[in-house]
Structure 1
Protein backbone atom coordinates (compact mmCIF):
# COMPACT_ATOMS: atom_id res chain seq x y z
CA UNK A 1 0.00 0.00 0.00
CA UNK A 2 1.55 3.28 -1.09
CA UNK A 3 0.49 6.32 0.89
CA UNK A 4 0.42 9.82 -0.52
CA UNK A 5 0.23 13.20 1.16
CA UNK A 6 -3.17 14.74 0.71
CA UNK A 7 -3.57 18.46 0.07
CA UNK A 8 -5.94 20.14 2.48
CA UNK A 9 -9.31 20.87 0.89
CA UNK A 10 -11.31 24.08 1.34
CA UNK A 11 -14.30 23.79 3.63
CA UNK A 12 -17.58 23.08 1.85
CA UNK A 13 -19.33 25.95 3.60
CA UNK A 14 -16.92 28.53 5.01
CA UNK A 15 -17.80 29.94 8.36
CA UNK A 16 -18.74 33.61 8.43
CA UNK A 17 -15.95 35.87 9.55
CA UNK A 18 -16.00 36.98 13.15
CA UNK A 19 -16.15 40.75 12.93
CA UNK A 20 -16.39 41.15 16.69
CA UNK A 21 -13.04 39.46 17.31
CA UNK A 22 -12.18 37.30 20.30
CA UNK A 23 -15.35 37.72 22.43
CA UNK A 24 -17.41 35.50 20.12
CA UNK A 25 -14.81 32.75 20.30
CA UNK A 26 -14.58 33.06 24.06
CA UNK A 27 -18.38 32.89 24.36
CA UNK A 28 -18.42 29.76 22.21
CA UNK A 29 -15.76 28.15 24.38
CA UNK A 30 -17.69 28.96 27.55
CA UNK A 31 -20.87 27.50 26.09
CA UNK A 32 -19.07 24.30 25.11
CA UNK A 33 -17.51 24.01 28.58
CA UNK A 34 -20.90 24.53 30.25
CA UNK A 35 -22.47 21.93 27.99
CA UNK A 36 -19.79 19.38 28.83
CA UNK A 37 -20.08 20.19 32.54
CA UNK A 38 -23.83 19.60 32.51
CA UNK A 39 -23.46 16.36 30.56
CA UNK A 40 -20.98 15.08 33.13
CA UNK A 41 -23.19 16.11 36.05
CA UNK A 42 -26.13 14.26 34.54
CA UNK A 43 -23.92 11.24 33.87
CA UNK A 44 -22.67 11.26 37.47
CA UNK A 45 -26.21 11.41 38.79
CA UNK A 46 -27.22 8.57 36.48
CA UNK A 47 -24.27 6.44 37.58
CA UNK A 48 -25.09 6.91 41.26
CA UNK A 49 -28.73 5.99 40.74
CA UNK A 50 -27.89 3.01 38.55
CA UNK A 51 -25.53 1.74 41.26
CA UNK A 52 -28.02 2.17 44.11
CA UNK A 53 -31.44 1.54 42.53
CA UNK A 54 -30.42 -0.50 39.50
CA UNK A 55 -30.52 0.47 35.85
CA UNK A 56 -34.04 -0.72 35.05
CA UNK A 57 -35.58 0.90 38.14
CA UNK A 58 -34.06 4.34 37.48
CA UNK A 59 -36.09 6.88 35.50
CA UNK A 60 -35.04 9.94 33.53
CA UNK A 61 -37.05 12.13 35.94
CA UNK A 62 -35.02 10.79 38.85
CA UNK A 63 -31.72 11.44 37.05
CA UNK A 64 -32.75 15.00 36.24
CA UNK A 65 -33.90 15.64 39.82
CA UNK A 66 -30.67 14.26 41.25
CA UNK A 67 -28.71 16.62 39.00
CA UNK A 68 -30.95 19.56 40.01
CA UNK A 69 -32.37 20.21 36.54
CA UNK A 70 -35.68 19.77 34.74
CA UNK A 71 -36.57 16.76 32.60
CA UNK A 72 -36.38 18.86 29.43
CA UNK A 73 -32.83 19.83 30.31
CA UNK A 74 -31.88 16.19 30.43
CA UNK A 75 -33.25 15.63 26.93
CA UNK A 76 -31.36 18.63 25.60
CA UNK A 77 -28.19 16.67 26.34
CA UNK A 78 -29.16 13.02 25.99
CA UNK A 79 -31.78 11.13 24.03
CA UNK A 80 -32.15 8.35 26.59
CA UNK A 81 -30.91 7.26 29.99
CA UNK A 82 -28.50 4.69 28.50
CA UNK A 83 -26.87 7.45 26.49
CA UNK A 84 -26.15 9.35 29.70
CA UNK A 85 -23.72 6.69 30.80
CA UNK A 86 -21.26 7.75 28.05
CA UNK A 87 -21.21 11.57 28.18
CA UNK A 88 -17.78 12.17 26.63
CA UNK A 89 -17.70 10.00 23.53
CA UNK A 90 -18.98 12.71 21.17
CA UNK A 91 -16.34 15.20 22.28
CA UNK A 92 -13.63 12.53 22.29
CA UNK A 93 -14.49 11.54 18.74
CA UNK A 94 -14.06 15.19 17.70
CA UNK A 95 -10.65 15.34 19.41
CA UNK A 96 -9.54 12.09 17.78
CA UNK A 97 -10.53 13.42 14.37
CA UNK A 98 -8.64 16.65 15.08
CA UNK A 99 -5.49 14.59 15.70
CA UNK A 100 -5.91 12.95 12.28
CA UNK A 101 -6.55 16.26 10.52
CA UNK A 102 -3.47 17.90 12.07
CA UNK A 103 -1.08 15.00 11.42
CA UNK A 104 2.38 16.06 10.18
CA UNK A 105 3.15 15.15 6.58
CA UNK A 106 6.05 12.87 7.50
CA UNK A 107 4.09 10.72 9.97
CA UNK A 108 3.06 7.22 8.97
CA UNK A 109 -0.78 7.07 8.86
CA UNK A 110 -0.86 4.10 11.21
CA UNK A 111 1.12 6.07 13.80
CA UNK A 112 -1.38 8.91 13.40
CA UNK A 113 -4.28 6.56 14.08
CA UNK A 114 -2.52 5.24 17.20
CA UNK A 115 -2.16 8.82 18.46
CA UNK A 116 -5.79 9.51 17.66
CA UNK A 117 -7.18 6.65 19.68
CA UNK A 118 -5.09 7.72 22.68
CA UNK A 119 -7.69 10.46 23.11
CA UNK A 120 -10.15 7.70 24.03
CA UNK A 121 -7.82 6.24 26.64
CA UNK A 122 -7.21 9.70 28.11
CA UNK A 123 -10.97 10.13 28.45
CA UNK A 124 -11.20 6.99 30.58
CA UNK A 125 -8.00 7.71 32.52
CA UNK A 126 -9.20 11.22 33.46
CA UNK A 127 -11.73 9.69 35.91
CA UNK A 128 -10.58 6.18 36.85
CA UNK A 129 -13.22 5.59 39.55
CA UNK A 130 -16.08 6.59 37.25
CA UNK A 131 -14.62 4.56 34.38
CA UNK A 132 -14.31 1.45 36.54
CA UNK A 133 -17.88 1.80 37.83
CA UNK A 134 -19.16 2.31 34.32
CA UNK A 135 -17.24 -0.74 33.09
CA UNK A 136 -18.80 -2.92 35.80
CA UNK A 137 -22.24 -1.59 35.02
CA UNK A 138 -21.94 -2.23 31.28
CA UNK A 139 -20.96 -5.82 32.04
CA UNK A 140 -24.29 -6.27 33.86
CA UNK A 141 -26.68 -4.37 31.56
CA UNK A 142 -26.91 -5.62 27.94
CA UNK A 143 -28.42 -2.34 26.74
CA UNK A 144 -25.42 -0.39 27.98
CA UNK A 145 -23.07 -2.95 26.48
CA UNK A 146 -24.73 -2.46 23.09
CA UNK A 147 -24.35 1.30 23.46
CA UNK A 148 -20.66 0.86 24.22
CA UNK A 149 -20.16 -1.35 21.16
CA UNK A 150 -21.85 1.28 18.99
CA UNK A 151 -19.46 3.93 20.34
CA UNK A 152 -16.43 1.77 19.57
CA UNK A 153 -17.71 1.25 16.02
CA UNK A 154 -17.71 5.02 15.44
CA UNK A 155 -13.99 5.24 16.23
CA UNK A 156 -13.26 2.27 14.03
CA UNK A 157 -15.10 3.84 11.09
CA UNK A 158 -13.20 7.10 11.59
CA UNK A 159 -9.81 5.40 11.56
CA UNK A 160 -10.69 3.16 8.62
CA UNK A 161 -11.72 6.19 6.53
CA UNK A 162 -8.46 7.87 7.43
CA UNK A 163 -6.31 4.94 6.36
CA UNK A 164 -8.32 4.41 3.19
CA UNK A 165 -7.87 8.08 2.35
CA UNK A 166 -4.09 7.93 2.48
CA UNK A 167 -3.06 5.35 -0.04
CA UNK A 168 -2.56 6.06 -3.70
CA UNK A 169 -5.89 6.55 -5.46
CA UNK A 170 -4.48 4.74 -8.51
CA UNK A 171 -4.45 1.55 -6.43
CA UNK A 172 -8.25 1.55 -6.08
CA UNK A 173 -9.12 -1.32 -8.39
CA UNK A 174 -10.72 -4.74 -8.26
CA UNK A 175 -8.48 -7.39 -6.77
CA UNK A 176 -6.37 -4.91 -4.83
CA UNK A 177 -6.07 -5.90 -1.17
CA UNK A 178 -5.17 -2.45 0.20
CA UNK A 179 -8.71 -1.43 1.24
CA UNK A 180 -9.04 -4.68 3.18
CA UNK A 181 -5.66 -4.13 4.80
CA UNK A 182 -6.68 -0.61 5.83
CA UNK A 183 -9.83 -1.91 7.49
CA UNK A 184 -8.00 -4.74 9.24
CA UNK A 185 -5.28 -2.37 10.46
CA UNK A 186 -7.84 0.10 11.81
CA UNK A 187 -9.61 -2.75 13.59
CA UNK A 188 -6.29 -3.93 15.02
CA UNK A 189 -5.57 -0.50 16.51
CA UNK A 190 -9.02 -0.37 18.13
CA UNK A 191 -8.69 -3.96 19.37
CA UNK A 192 -5.27 -3.28 20.88
CA UNK A 193 -6.64 -0.20 22.62
CA UNK A 194 -9.66 -2.07 23.98
CA UNK A 195 -7.52 -4.97 25.18
CA UNK A 196 -5.31 -2.64 27.23
CA UNK A 197 -8.31 -0.63 28.44
CA UNK A 198 -10.20 -3.70 29.68
CA UNK A 199 -7.19 -5.01 31.58
CA UNK A 200 -6.71 -1.60 33.18
CA UNK A 201 -10.38 -1.38 34.19
CA UNK A 202 -10.35 -4.91 35.62
CA UNK A 203 -7.34 -3.87 37.71
CA UNK A 204 -9.37 -1.04 39.22
CA UNK A 205 -7.93 1.68 36.99
CA UNK A 206 -4.43 1.37 38.43
CA UNK A 207 -1.08 1.27 36.64
CA UNK A 208 0.66 3.04 33.79
CA UNK A 209 -1.94 2.47 31.11
CA UNK A 210 -0.24 4.68 28.50
CA UNK A 211 2.99 2.69 28.46
CA UNK A 212 0.98 -0.51 28.09
CA UNK A 213 -0.87 1.08 25.22
CA UNK A 214 2.39 2.06 23.51
CA UNK A 215 3.58 -1.54 23.80
CA UNK A 216 0.35 -2.81 22.21
CA UNK A 217 0.63 -0.28 19.39
CA UNK A 218 4.22 -1.34 18.73
CA UNK A 219 2.93 -4.86 18.08
CA UNK A 220 0.29 -3.51 15.69
CA UNK A 221 2.83 -1.41 13.81
CA UNK A 222 5.23 -4.34 13.53
CA UNK A 223 2.44 -6.50 12.14
CA UNK A 224 0.79 -4.05 9.74
CA UNK A 225 3.17 -1.12 9.26
CA UNK A 226 5.37 -2.70 6.59
CA UNK A 227 2.45 -4.11 4.68
CA UNK A 228 0.60 -0.82 4.72
CA UNK A 229 3.50 1.10 3.20
CA UNK A 230 6.47 3.25 3.91
CA UNK A 231 4.40 6.30 4.81
CA UNK A 232 3.43 9.53 3.20
CA UNK A 233 5.80 11.62 1.16
CA UNK A 234 8.57 13.16 3.25
CA UNK A 235 9.10 16.18 1.04
CA UNK A 236 12.28 16.19 -1.02
CA UNK A 237 12.88 12.45 -0.86
CA UNK A 238 12.82 10.74 -4.22
CA UNK A 239 9.79 8.60 -4.98
CA UNK A 240 10.90 5.09 -6.04
CA UNK A 241 10.72 4.58 -9.78
CA UNK A 242 9.11 1.67 -11.53
CA UNK A 243 12.57 0.31 -12.37
CA UNK A 244 16.17 0.96 -11.33
CA UNK A 245 19.42 -0.22 -12.91
CA UNK A 246 23.07 0.15 -12.07
CA UNK A 247 26.42 -1.34 -13.14
CA UNK A 248 28.32 -3.19 -10.41
CA UNK A 249 31.88 -4.58 -10.52
CA UNK A 250 32.31 -8.30 -11.11
CA UNK A 251 33.41 -9.98 -7.89
CA UNK A 252 36.42 -11.80 -9.44
CA UNK A 253 37.73 -8.66 -11.14
CA UNK A 254 37.11 -9.88 -14.67
CA UNK A 255 35.34 -7.63 -17.14
CA UNK A 256 33.99 -4.16 -16.65
CA UNK A 257 31.07 -5.16 -14.53
CA UNK A 258 27.55 -6.49 -14.60
CA UNK A 259 24.27 -4.67 -15.01
CA UNK A 260 21.89 -5.10 -12.07
CA UNK A 261 18.26 -4.16 -12.76
CA UNK A 262 15.40 -4.09 -10.26
CA UNK A 263 11.82 -3.54 -11.43
CA UNK A 264 8.34 -3.79 -10.01
CA UNK A 265 6.36 -6.69 -11.40
CA UNK A 266 3.73 -4.26 -12.71
CA UNK A 267 6.28 -1.94 -14.36
CA UNK A 268 5.72 -1.45 -18.13
CA UNK A 269 8.32 -3.30 -20.19
CA UNK A 270 9.18 -0.14 -22.15
CA UNK A 271 10.05 1.66 -18.89
CA UNK A 272 12.29 -1.20 -17.80
CA UNK A 273 14.15 -1.28 -21.13
CA UNK A 274 14.65 2.51 -21.13
CA UNK A 275 16.07 2.32 -17.61
CA UNK A 276 18.53 -0.40 -18.64
CA UNK A 277 19.62 1.52 -21.75
CA UNK A 278 20.14 4.70 -19.74
CA UNK A 279 22.28 2.87 -17.16
CA UNK A 280 24.46 1.35 -19.91
CA UNK A 281 24.96 4.72 -21.63
CA UNK A 282 25.96 6.39 -18.37
CA UNK A 283 28.46 3.64 -17.60
CA UNK A 284 30.07 3.74 -21.06
CA UNK A 285 30.44 7.47 -20.77
Structure 2
Protein backbone atom coordinates (compact mmCIF):
# COMPACT_ATOMS: atom_id res chain seq x y z
CA UNK A 1 0.00 0.00 0.00
CA UNK A 2 1.18 3.49 -0.84
CA UNK A 3 -0.05 6.81 0.51
CA UNK A 4 1.27 10.35 0.21
CA UNK A 5 0.80 13.18 2.70
CA UNK A 6 2.08 16.72 2.29
CA UNK A 7 4.37 18.42 4.78
CA UNK A 8 6.87 21.27 4.79
CA UNK A 9 10.53 21.64 5.70
CA UNK A 10 12.33 24.89 6.44
CA UNK A 11 15.52 26.02 4.70
CA UNK A 12 16.82 29.27 6.12
CA UNK A 13 13.72 31.44 6.33
CA UNK A 14 11.94 29.77 3.42
CA UNK A 15 9.60 26.81 3.40
CA UNK A 16 9.99 23.84 1.07
CA UNK A 17 7.01 21.57 0.26
CA UNK A 18 7.76 17.94 1.07
CA UNK A 19 5.85 14.92 -0.20
CA UNK A 20 5.88 12.27 2.53
CA UNK A 21 5.45 8.94 0.76
CA UNK A 22 4.66 5.87 2.87
CA UNK A 23 4.98 2.39 1.40
CA UNK A 24 3.93 -0.73 3.31
CA UNK A 25 5.38 -3.95 1.89
CA UNK A 26 5.61 -7.58 2.94
CA UNK A 27 8.70 -8.69 4.77
CA UNK A 28 10.32 -8.47 8.15
CA UNK A 29 8.89 -5.52 10.12
CA UNK A 30 11.08 -2.44 9.75
CA UNK A 31 10.70 1.33 9.66
CA UNK A 32 13.07 3.35 7.48
CA UNK A 33 13.06 7.03 6.49
CA UNK A 34 14.95 8.07 3.35
CA UNK A 35 15.31 11.36 1.51
CA UNK A 36 18.17 13.10 3.35
CA UNK A 37 16.61 13.25 6.84
CA UNK A 38 18.69 14.71 9.66
CA UNK A 39 18.92 13.07 13.08
CA UNK A 40 15.76 14.74 14.43
CA UNK A 41 13.75 13.51 11.44
CA UNK A 42 15.14 9.99 11.80
CA UNK A 43 14.21 10.03 15.49
CA UNK A 44 10.60 10.68 14.48
CA UNK A 45 10.29 6.93 13.88
CA UNK A 46 10.05 6.30 17.61
CA UNK A 47 7.81 9.32 18.24
CA UNK A 48 5.41 8.27 15.50
CA UNK A 49 5.41 4.62 16.58
CA UNK A 50 4.55 5.51 20.19
CA UNK A 51 2.03 8.19 19.21
CA UNK A 52 0.09 5.78 16.99
CA UNK A 53 -0.08 3.08 19.63
CA UNK A 54 -0.98 5.42 22.48
CA UNK A 55 -3.69 7.01 20.34
CA UNK A 56 -5.39 3.65 19.83
CA UNK A 57 -4.15 2.79 16.33
CA UNK A 58 -2.31 -0.29 15.14
CA UNK A 59 1.27 0.21 14.07
CA UNK A 60 1.60 -1.89 10.88
CA UNK A 61 3.71 -5.02 11.18
CA UNK A 62 5.22 -4.55 7.74
CA UNK A 63 8.26 -3.22 5.99
CA UNK A 64 7.59 0.52 6.16
CA UNK A 65 9.53 2.91 3.95
CA UNK A 66 9.05 6.66 4.24
CA UNK A 67 10.45 8.76 1.40
CA UNK A 68 10.76 12.53 1.82
CA UNK A 69 10.65 14.10 -1.63
CA UNK A 70 12.46 15.96 -3.10
CA UNK A 71 15.23 13.66 -1.95
CA UNK A 72 18.10 16.05 -2.74
CA UNK A 73 17.12 18.58 -0.05
CA UNK A 74 18.14 17.95 3.54
CA UNK A 75 15.13 17.76 5.88
CA UNK A 76 15.69 19.33 9.30
CA UNK A 77 13.45 19.65 12.35
CA UNK A 78 10.45 17.94 13.90
CA UNK A 79 7.70 19.54 11.82
CA UNK A 80 7.28 16.44 9.61
CA UNK A 81 6.14 14.16 12.45
CA UNK A 82 2.44 14.66 11.75
CA UNK A 83 2.77 14.15 7.99
CA UNK A 84 4.69 10.90 8.57
CA UNK A 85 2.00 9.62 10.95
CA UNK A 86 -0.84 10.53 8.56
CA UNK A 87 0.88 8.84 5.61
CA UNK A 88 1.28 5.61 7.60
CA UNK A 89 -2.34 5.68 8.78
CA UNK A 90 -3.54 6.29 5.22
CA UNK A 91 -1.35 3.54 3.76
CA UNK A 92 -2.59 1.05 6.37
CA UNK A 93 -6.25 1.96 5.80
CA UNK A 94 -6.81 3.42 9.26
CA UNK A 95 -7.49 6.91 7.90
CA UNK A 96 -9.21 7.88 4.68
CA UNK A 97 -6.77 9.10 2.07
CA UNK A 98 -9.27 11.41 0.39
CA UNK A 99 -8.18 14.89 -0.65
CA UNK A 100 -4.73 14.53 0.93
CA UNK A 101 -3.28 16.41 -2.03
CA UNK A 102 -5.06 19.57 -0.83
CA UNK A 103 -3.99 19.36 2.83
CA UNK A 104 -0.58 20.11 4.36
CA UNK A 105 0.29 18.73 7.80
CA UNK A 106 2.79 20.32 10.18
CA UNK A 107 3.51 19.59 13.81
CA UNK A 108 5.56 17.61 16.31
CA UNK A 109 4.08 14.52 17.93
CA UNK A 110 4.56 13.67 21.57
CA UNK A 111 4.53 10.04 22.67
CA UNK A 112 0.91 10.26 23.84
CA UNK A 113 -0.35 11.62 20.52
CA UNK A 114 -0.53 15.27 21.52
CA UNK A 115 0.68 17.87 19.03
CA UNK A 116 3.39 20.32 20.03
CA UNK A 117 4.12 23.66 18.35
CA UNK A 118 7.05 23.90 15.97
CA UNK A 119 9.18 26.67 14.52
CA UNK A 120 8.85 27.85 10.94
CA UNK A 121 5.07 27.52 10.64
CA UNK A 122 4.71 30.79 8.71
CA UNK A 123 7.21 30.01 5.91
CA UNK A 124 5.80 26.48 5.87
CA UNK A 125 2.27 27.78 5.31
CA UNK A 126 3.50 30.08 2.55
CA UNK A 127 5.14 27.09 0.84
CA UNK A 128 1.97 25.03 1.33
CA UNK A 129 -0.10 27.69 -0.41
CA UNK A 130 2.37 27.79 -3.29
CA UNK A 131 2.18 24.00 -3.67
CA UNK A 132 -1.59 24.06 -4.17
CA UNK A 133 -2.85 23.25 -0.67
CA UNK A 134 -6.19 24.69 0.42
CA UNK A 135 -5.95 23.55 4.04
CA UNK A 136 -3.18 23.36 6.60
CA UNK A 137 -3.36 21.30 9.79
CA UNK A 138 -1.22 22.74 12.58
CA UNK A 139 -0.93 22.52 16.37
CA UNK A 140 -3.31 24.85 18.17
CA UNK A 141 -0.46 26.94 19.57
CA UNK A 142 0.70 27.72 16.01
CA UNK A 143 -2.75 28.64 14.68
CA UNK A 144 -2.50 32.43 15.03
CA UNK A 145 0.84 32.42 13.23
CA UNK A 146 -0.52 30.25 10.43
CA UNK A 147 -3.42 32.67 9.92
CA UNK A 148 -0.98 35.34 8.74
CA UNK A 149 -0.92 33.64 5.31
CA UNK A 150 -3.88 34.67 3.20
CA UNK A 151 -5.65 32.01 1.15
CA UNK A 152 -5.37 29.01 3.50
CA UNK A 153 -7.97 27.48 5.79
CA UNK A 154 -6.24 26.73 9.08
CA UNK A 155 -7.29 23.62 11.01
CA UNK A 156 -5.98 23.81 14.58
CA UNK A 157 -5.75 20.47 16.41
CA UNK A 158 -4.54 19.23 19.76
CA UNK A 159 -4.17 15.48 19.16
CA UNK A 160 -3.55 12.94 16.44
CA UNK A 161 -7.06 11.58 17.05
CA UNK A 162 -8.53 14.94 16.03
CA UNK A 163 -6.57 14.83 12.78
CA UNK A 164 -7.90 11.36 11.93
CA UNK A 165 -11.43 12.44 12.86
CA UNK A 166 -11.12 15.37 10.49
CA UNK A 167 -9.84 13.14 7.66
CA UNK A 168 -12.49 10.46 8.14
CA UNK A 169 -15.58 12.56 8.87
CA UNK A 170 -14.69 15.98 7.53
CA UNK A 171 -15.54 17.56 10.88
CA UNK A 172 -13.21 20.40 11.80
CA UNK A 173 -12.30 20.41 15.49
CA UNK A 174 -11.02 23.98 15.44
CA UNK A 175 -11.34 25.75 12.14
CA UNK A 176 -9.66 29.10 12.45
CA UNK A 177 -9.81 30.58 8.97
CA UNK A 178 -7.75 33.49 7.72
CA UNK A 179 -7.54 36.64 9.81
CA UNK A 180 -6.06 39.34 7.59
CA UNK A 181 -4.16 42.19 9.10
CA UNK A 182 -6.20 45.41 9.06
CA UNK A 183 -4.72 47.69 6.38
CA UNK A 184 -4.83 50.69 8.69
CA UNK A 185 -3.36 48.92 11.73
CA UNK A 186 -1.06 51.44 13.43
CA UNK A 187 2.57 50.51 13.88
CA UNK A 188 3.97 50.34 17.39
CA UNK A 189 5.55 53.53 18.61
CA UNK A 190 9.36 53.56 18.43
CA UNK A 191 11.28 53.29 21.68
CA UNK A 192 12.91 56.66 21.09
CA UNK A 193 12.97 59.47 18.54
CA UNK A 194 15.27 62.29 17.54
CA UNK A 195 13.54 64.65 19.95
CA UNK A 196 15.43 62.89 22.73
CA UNK A 197 18.82 63.55 21.10
CA UNK A 198 20.68 66.66 22.25
CA UNK A 199 22.89 68.18 19.56
CA UNK A 200 24.24 65.90 16.79
CA UNK A 201 22.53 68.05 14.15
CA UNK A 202 24.90 66.97 11.39
CA UNK A 203 24.48 63.28 12.23
CA UNK A 204 20.69 63.61 12.35
CA UNK A 205 20.68 65.34 8.98
CA UNK A 206 22.87 62.60 7.48
CA UNK A 207 20.50 59.94 8.82
CA UNK A 208 17.47 61.72 7.38
CA UNK A 209 19.09 61.92 3.96
CA UNK A 210 20.11 58.25 4.08
CA UNK A 211 16.62 57.13 5.12
CA UNK A 212 14.88 59.30 2.52
CA UNK A 213 17.05 57.89 -0.26
CA UNK A 214 17.22 54.32 1.09
CA UNK A 215 21.02 54.55 1.31
CA UNK A 216 23.35 52.52 3.51
CA UNK A 217 24.90 54.38 6.43
CA UNK A 218 27.90 53.79 8.67
CA UNK A 219 28.50 55.78 11.86
CA UNK A 220 32.03 55.99 13.26
CA UNK A 221 33.00 57.58 16.53
CA UNK A 222 34.30 57.05 20.06
CA UNK A 223 32.34 55.02 22.63
CA UNK A 224 29.57 57.06 24.24
CA UNK A 225 29.24 59.39 21.27
CA UNK A 226 25.59 58.48 20.69
CA UNK A 227 25.85 56.14 17.71
CA UNK A 228 23.58 53.47 19.17
CA UNK A 229 21.02 56.05 20.33
CA UNK A 230 20.92 57.63 16.88
CA UNK A 231 20.55 54.24 15.22
CA UNK A 232 17.69 53.26 17.53
CA UNK A 233 15.84 56.45 16.54
CA UNK A 234 15.87 55.63 12.83
CA UNK A 235 12.67 53.56 13.02
CA UNK A 236 10.79 56.63 14.28
CA UNK A 237 11.09 58.29 10.85
CA UNK A 238 10.51 55.17 8.76
CA UNK A 239 7.03 54.39 7.36
CA UNK A 240 5.05 51.47 8.70
CA UNK A 241 5.96 48.11 7.21
CA UNK A 242 3.89 46.98 4.26
CA UNK A 243 2.44 43.46 4.06
CA UNK A 244 5.49 41.98 2.31
CA UNK A 245 7.94 43.47 4.81
CA UNK A 246 5.81 42.36 7.75
CA UNK A 247 5.66 38.79 6.43
CA UNK A 248 9.42 38.69 5.89
CA UNK A 249 10.12 39.91 9.43
CA UNK A 250 7.58 37.47 10.87
CA UNK A 251 9.14 34.58 8.90
CA UNK A 252 12.50 35.32 10.52
CA UNK A 253 10.85 35.46 13.95
CA UNK A 254 9.01 32.21 13.20
CA UNK A 255 12.19 30.31 12.37
CA UNK A 256 13.82 31.75 15.51
CA UNK A 257 10.83 30.80 17.65
CA UNK A 258 10.18 34.42 18.64
CA UNK A 259 6.83 35.19 17.02
CA UNK A 260 4.79 37.97 18.62
CA UNK A 261 1.55 36.88 20.35
CA UNK A 262 -0.27 39.19 17.92
CA UNK A 263 0.89 37.10 14.96
CA UNK A 264 2.10 39.36 12.16
CA UNK A 265 4.98 41.64 13.17
CA UNK A 266 4.18 45.34 13.04
CA UNK A 267 7.31 46.84 14.56
CA UNK A 268 10.50 47.33 12.59
CA UNK A 269 13.24 45.30 14.30
CA UNK A 270 16.35 46.95 15.70
CA UNK A 271 19.35 44.81 16.64
CA UNK A 272 22.42 45.98 18.52
CA UNK A 273 25.08 43.24 18.52
CA UNK A 274 28.10 43.84 20.73
CA UNK A 275 31.08 45.41 18.99
CA UNK A 276 33.22 42.36 19.83
CA UNK A 277 30.92 39.91 18.03
CA UNK A 278 32.65 37.59 15.56
CA UNK A 279 31.47 37.09 11.96
CA UNK A 280 30.21 33.62 12.91
CA UNK A 281 28.35 35.05 15.87
CA UNK A 282 26.77 37.70 13.66
CA UNK A 283 25.90 35.61 10.61
CA UNK A 284 25.94 32.06 11.94
CA UNK A 285 28.36 29.30 11.15
CA UNK A 286 28.59 25.59 10.64
What range is the shorter-chain TM-score in? under 0.3
Greater per-residue helix proportion:
1
Q: Which has the higher contact order (CA 8 A, sep 6+)?
A: 1
Q: TM-score, normalising length from structure 2?
A: 0.24
Greater per-residue strand proportion:
2
Q: TM-score, normalising length from structure 1?
A: 0.24
